[in-house]
Chain A
Amino acid sequence: MFFFASSIALILIGLYAVLVKRNIMKMVIGLSIMDTGVNILIISLGFIRGKTAPIINAKDLLVRTSSKVVDPVPQALVLTAIVIGVAVTAAALSIVMLMYSKKKSLEIEEYKELKW
């Protein structure tokens, strides 16, 4: 329960930064924090108390494996999510670099071209 609560808190903190902060860099940091919160949430969904990691490197794990290891599927999904998160952060940062080169400002209030 503690893991669920803390990961939801991380997601909300990231969303708060995206919604409220005016600095674009802080918004990207908020996206990254939100990403981490989602990853922790998915990992803790697959946790089973008192069981070991899904790496079968000992003889006694070979028989009745499913009663001895945690769920490996969320871990595989999070592996995917981390890589996509890196790609998203890199793309967002390069867009921030381009925006800064146009107006020399990181404040979101300065960019009014897409408003109507």
Chain B
Amino acid sequence: MRKWIAITFLLILGFFMLRIAGAFPFGENTWKVARQYVKNVTEEKWWVAEHYVDKGIKENRGSNLVTSIVVNYRGFDTLGEVTVLFLAATALAFLLSSCTCFRKYERIEASLILKTASDTLYPLLILFGAYIFIHGHLTPGGGFQGGTVIASAVMLMLLAHFSFHPNHEVLSVTEGLAGIVFAAIGLAGLIWGRSFLANNILPLGHWNRLFSAGVIPLIYIAIGFKVGSELSGLITDMFKVTKEE
């Protein structure tokens, strides 16, 4: 009974969602479509996305336009996002610290294949994560992705070795320092530049080089450290409920 009510509700919802989506021109240039509906638009007026795309290289000198939007144009939003992640990690640590429930279960020793493979992959994965967040302004990827790759390396080691303990103090100090660096770069922009998180306090450099794009690589490296240590600490907390002290 409950199942059929739910299915009817979902079908009605899906019908209306499909109707709305069907009215949207898929694969068309939406900037041009939007222009037809708005009167009195001269060519000098830039649409937001068009401005990001056309002026992004000139203003930020970062090849990856998604990075220059995430870190520079919408940098304040990213600061909030990092805060959300921090809040989730803190809440999780608080919730799981009271849980002593799974300690009586025996953990099975990991197989030889997993142990050997994770010993080999651990330094390589950390190096790959660092590569991803250092080149965030040139290639696809960035701080969030690189940090997640580093956390996956830590998770692999935790699965393979029962005796692997990441140092929790070091992780939380790294996380705090990276957050402070992000906020300090923003405040430096407020003092010496145009606005909070402004990108005119450092020389922009040449297009498509590693040392370019002003403060964008610095902020993304800080985000990489922050997300990596945060997610590593989160995974360690989740594993801790199975360990006896």
The answer to whether A binds B is: yes
**A residues with CB within 8 A of B:** 1, 3-5, 8-9, 11-12, 15-16, 19-20, 41, 44-49, 53-57, 62, 64-66, 69, 71-73, 75-76, 79-80, 82-84, 86-88, 90-91, 93-95, 97-98, 100-101
Measuring CB to CB, which residues of chain B are less than 8 angstroms from any residue of chain A? 2-3, 6-7, 9-10, 13-14, 17-18, 21-22, 24, 26-31, 48-50, 52-54, 56-57, 63-66, 69-70, 74, 77-78, 81, 84-85, 87-89, 91-92, 95-96, 98-99, 101-102, 138-140, 142, 144, 148, 207-208, 227, 231, 234, 238, 241
Q: Which B residues are CB-close (under 8 A) to A55?
A: 63-66, 139-140
How distant is the Cα of A11 from the Cα of B18 in the complex, in angstroms?
12
Verify B96–A45 contact, CB threshold 8 A.
no
In the complex, the answer to whether A48 meets B53 with C-beta atoms within 8 Å is no
- Per a CB cutoff under 8 Å, which of B53, B74, B87 touches A54? B53
Contact in complex: A90, B88 (CB < 8 Å): yes
Smallest Cβ distance from B117 to chain A, in angstroms? 24
Contact A62 B57 (CB under 8 A): yes
Complex partner residue of B10 from A3, A15, A75, A86, CB under 8 angstroms:
A15
In the complex with contacts A45-B24, A98-B95, A69-B65 CB distance below 8 A: yes
Q: How far is the CB of B92 from chain A (nearest CB, A)?
A: 5
CA gap between A72 and B55 in the complex, in Å = 13
- A-chain residues with CB within 8 Å of residue B78 when the two chains form the complex: 80
B10 touches A101 (CB 8 A): no
Q: List 13 A-B contacts (CB under 8 A).
A: A1-B22, A12-B13, A49-B27, A49-B28, A55-B65, A56-B65, A57-B138, A79-B66, A83-B227, A86-B231, A87-B84, A90-B89, A94-B96
Give how many A-B residue pairs fall within 8 Å (CB-CB): 151
CA A72 to CA B17, docked complex, whole Å: 24
Q: Is the CB of A73 within 8 A of B102?
A: no
- CA separation between A57 and B27, bound complex, in Å? 23
Are B65 and A11 closer than 8 Å at their CB atoms? no
Residues of A within 8 A of B3 (CB): 20
Tell me the nearest residue of chain A to B71, going by C-beta: A76
With A19-B6, A47-B26, A83-B144 already in contact, the answer to whether A72 and B50 are too (CB < 8 A) is: no
A90 to B92 CA separation, bound complex (whole angstroms): 8
The interface residues of chain B lying within 8 Å CB-to-CB of A100 are 101
Q: Is the CB of B50 within 8 A of A66?
A: yes
The interface residues of chain B lying within 8 Å CB-to-CB of A16 are 6-7, 10
